[in-house]
Amino acid sequence: AYMCGFGNEFSSEDPRCPGSLPEGQNNPQVCPYGLYAEQLSGSAFTCPRPANKRSWLYRILPSVKHKPFTAVPCGNLTENWNEVEPDPNQLRWLPFTIPKSTEKKVDFVAGLHTVCGAGDAKSRNGISIHVYTCNTSMVDRCFNNSDGDFLIVPQQGEILITTEFGKMMVEPNEICVIQQGMRFSVDVFGETRGYIMEVYGAHFELPDLGPIGANGLANPRDFLCPVAWYEDRKVATGYTIINKYQGKLFACQQDFSPFNVVAWHGNYTPYKYNLKNFMVINCVAFDHADPSIFTVLTAKSTRPGVAIADFVIFPPRWGVADHTFRPPYYHRNCMSEFMGLIKGHYEAKEEGFQPGGASLHSMMTPHGPDADCFEKNSTAELKPERVAEGTMAFMFESSFSMAVTKWGLQTCQRLDKTYYQCWEPLRSHFNPNWKPSKK
């Protein structure tokens, strides 16, 4: 069960404990059912109301009851952007390898791998892009990101996310956002893979619509927030809280489940969204619009119109533009573009770019359709046609110049070193004797 809306003031209580939300105040002397009141703040207290994010949680035991945190190995999760030399080339990865459960049990946290990023969690300004590849559920342990927000894009296998606010089932072609400081655990049901965009210092919001008007793109009513669910469970062998803090991992022990929130209210919550609900805007006359018209969520920087990160999709839609090269244009960008493919075939590169893989076109690195795509679409009959049917590609776009990690360039062994060859067959069509056709 879910509640719908984006950034709403929600309230929810587990039906097993009716009346567990205090009436008329946040922090009574004695809470109903003997619960503890705990506020989770996602913004400074004095932020303007439109940007003020917080929720009140009413829990069996407060989250402060735990043993001290100690450092634990980070695996392939990193914020070290200088471990290898910069690489300005067009980069493409084959589908990232999912470990076989018969060989090694890997859960969501152990299966996190940082591909690229920039900035700094300490200064609260930056972005990281990770992939997760796992095959087993998290048991008696949960994850907490003190550095930023996770936007999770499942690609293979559904994931059941248990949070302090309730449960969310997230399938491929859906996304979810777990905001800074929210504890969660991930159950999987086989070999599982997906992508994560992490932002520091800002929360995701819906893009402004400008002259589009009041409706379109990702509509607020289609975002779903979980309802309260709790477990009052003692864990004699110890429950592990894993905390990502200043780019490192730390762990502590407690003897009870952290998912003990009986009721909550507020506007700072996890949420999910089904990409099939995106209301697509597209050209209906001529030319190819900029991909910003496909923005689902944005994390704004302090510069107007410039994002720390945008989440952009390329959904099924109609292509009807006349006198137009319809695929994406050739491009050099002051932004960094990381692309992934959930399913299908991306229109600009139908071969080579595979579901579960990725590409990175760094700041001012040229990119665009491969030779086959250009030749085919330069002579195609321009009739109305469905574009990207059965496909869902996406882009994490950022104003940061992202560095690729050693894992991304070397250790994963999935870098496609032949990527540049897809543009090698491009040939000159220049004709100095060309004359405009007579109409």
Nearest to 263 by CA among 50, 15, 80, 42: 15
- The 8 Å CB, 24+ separation contacts for 36-40 are 36/60, 36/61, 36/62, 38/62, 38/63, 40/164, 40/181, 40/182, 40/266, 40/268
Per annotation, catalytic residue among 288, 323, 345, 429 = 288
What average pLDDT does the segment 335-362 reach? 89
Residue 159 has pLDDT above 80, yes or no: yes
Residue 352: the pLDDT is 79
pLDDT tens-digit readout, 181-222:
999 999 999 999 999 999 998 999 999 999 999 999 999 999
239 is in an annotated binding site: no
346 is in an annotated binding site: yes
Residue 74: the pLDDT is 97
**Which structural domains are found in the chain, ordered by start?**
2-275 (2.60.120.10), 280-413 (2.60.120.10)
337 is in an annotated binding site: yes
pLDDT tens-digit readout, 71-110:
999 999 999 999 999 999 999 999 999 999 999 999 999 9
Residue 284 has pLDDT above 80, yes or no: yes
Nearest to 290 by CA among 334, 317, 328: 328
361 is in an annotated binding site: no
Residue 437: the pLDDT is 84
Res. 348 pLDDT band, cuts 50 70 90: low
Residue 439: the pLDDT is 66
* Residues 261, 167 contacting (CB under 8 angstroms): no
Q: Is 288 annotated in the active site?
A: yes
What average pLDDT does the segment 285-295 reach? 93
What average pLDDT does the segment 122-141 reach? 97
What average pLDDT does the segment 383-388 reach? 94
Q: Where are the beta strands (DSSP E) in 97-158?
A: 112-120, 125-134, 141-145, 149-156
